[in-house]
Chain A
Amino acid sequence: DIQMTQSPSSLSASLGGKVTITCKASQDINKYIAWYQHKPGKGPRLLIHYTSTLQPGIPSRFSGSGSGRDYSFSISNLEPEDIATYYCLQYDNLLTFGAGTKLELK
């Protein structure tokens, strides 16, 4: 099974700032990674799939990159509504989530 090591587990940032989250796969996942935003009491929201493809309606402040085993996700110009937990998901070989990153306001 493919393991996804996501870091950091939590981070704090200022409004208007930029944050970056990384996910490292235990093997090459061929860019088959998605990123989700999850707020309490709701279903997760798809932000990005296939490494860098933004879902319709998702602001361009969200971006993704990477290849092979190493992937990253960034949010620029942080807004209050971005406070949430973020997860990566590999779907190259079955499906595995990263452990999540809790984003808080500084």
Chain B
Amino acid sequence: QIQLVQSGPELKKPGETVKISCKASGYTFTNYGMNWVKQAPGKGLKWMGWINTYTGEPTYADDFKGRFAFSLETSASTAYLQINNLKNEDMATYFCARSLYGSSPYYFDYWGQGTTLTVSS
């Protein structure tokens, strides 16, 4: 069955770097794009951007340009979200979600379980 399994909770200090993984199984990894979605505490869902798993090209939503990086380890069917120079406002749960795509992603049909990031000095 199709699964996206994310890495465990993270506790980081401001200024540090975090890398969250999302391991896919049950389908051909390069046939679907991988998206990242942020949910801050008590807030709604916000699309961060996506990575074309066939070409490796990332696209970042406007609010996530600069400190955020999407990457792949295609041989391991795994996508990564890296956040550099962590700030308090990065504290959130991060989800990966797969989608078919054309020039941009379509809706997300499968999601990871979420990774909770705590940022505290």
Chain A interface (Cβ within 8 Å of chain B)? Answer: 1, 32, 34, 36, 38, 41-46, 49, 55, 87, 89, 91, 93-100
Contact = CB atoms under 8 A, between A and B. Distances in A.
Contacts, number: 59
A72 to B, nearest CB: 17
Nearest to A55: B109
Given A32-B107, A89-B45, A91-B106, 14 more contacts: A1-B62, A41-B113, A42-B114, A43-B112, A44-B95, A44-B97, A46-B110, A49-B107, A87-B44, A91-B107, A95-B47, A97-B44, A97-B47, A100-B44
Contacts of B44: 87, 97-100
Contacts of A91: 104-107
Interface in B26-64: 35, 44-47, 61-62
B112 A94 contact: no
Interface string B60-94: 01100000000000000000000000000000000
Contacts of A44: 45, 95, 97, 108, 111
A46 B109 contact: yes
Main secondary structure of the interface of A (DSSP, over half): loop
A42 B61 CA distance: 23
Contact of A95 (B62, B105, B114): B105
Nearest to B113: A43
A95 B107 CA distance: 8
